[in-house]
Amino acid sequence: MTADFGGGPACAPTTPIQHLEIFSRRWTTERGLRVGDSLDRVRALYPELRRFPDLFGPGPAWRYDLALVLEPSHVGGPSNVIDRLSAEIRQRRVRLLRVSPYGAGD
C-alpha cells in the first residue's frame, strides 16, 4: 500500500511505501520469525514486544497485533513511537507480518 499525505498521487513511482503485509512463510525477519510461527516463538525472538493496546489504547483493530520493532518518532502518536515491524496473531500463531518503512509524516 502506498500513500502520499502531501496530496500527490498515491500510485506514483516516487511515492514511498507506507507498509507491507506479508502472508507468506517464505519471508523471514532478521531474527528468523515467519508467518505461521507460534506466539511462544514470537516472544522468544522479540522479548521487547509491546501489545498495541498498551501503546495506543484499546481498539478492536489492534486487539491481536504486537509491535515487535519500535522506533522513536515525533509523528508516531501519543506513545511517540512508530512500529516498524508488527505481527498479527490469531489462535496463537502469526497470521501476518507488517513492515512499516515509513510512518505518516516521515
User: pLDDT tens digits, the chain, 106 residues: what are they?
Assistant: 555 556 666 676 766 667 788 999 999 999 999 999 999 999 999 999 988 777 767 766 556 788 898 888 776 556 677 788 999 999 999 999 998 876 555 4
Looking at residue 3, what is its pLDDT?
Answer: 55
In a domain, 89, yes or no: yes
Looking at residue 41, what is its pLDDT?
Answer: 97
**Structural domain total, the chain:** 1
Looking at residue 81, what is its pLDDT?
Answer: 79
Looking at residue 78, what is its pLDDT?
Answer: 61
In a domain, 64, yes or no: yes
In a domain, 9, yes or no: no
Q: For residue 63, give the C-alpha cell.
A: 486487539
Range of the domain at 48: 20-99
Return d(Cα 54, Cα 38) in angstroms, integer: 21
In a domain, 3, yes or no: no
In a domain, 79, yes or no: yes
Return d(Cα 29, Cα 54) in angstroms, integer: 23
In this structure, how many other beta carbons lie within 10 angstroms of the beta carbon of residue 4?
14
In a domain, 105, yes or no: no
For 66-99, give the secondary structure using H, E and C: EEEEEEECCCCCCCCEEEEEEEEEECCEEEEEEE
In a domain, 106, yes or no: no
In a domain, 46, yes or no: yes
The three-class DSSP label of residue 20 is: strand
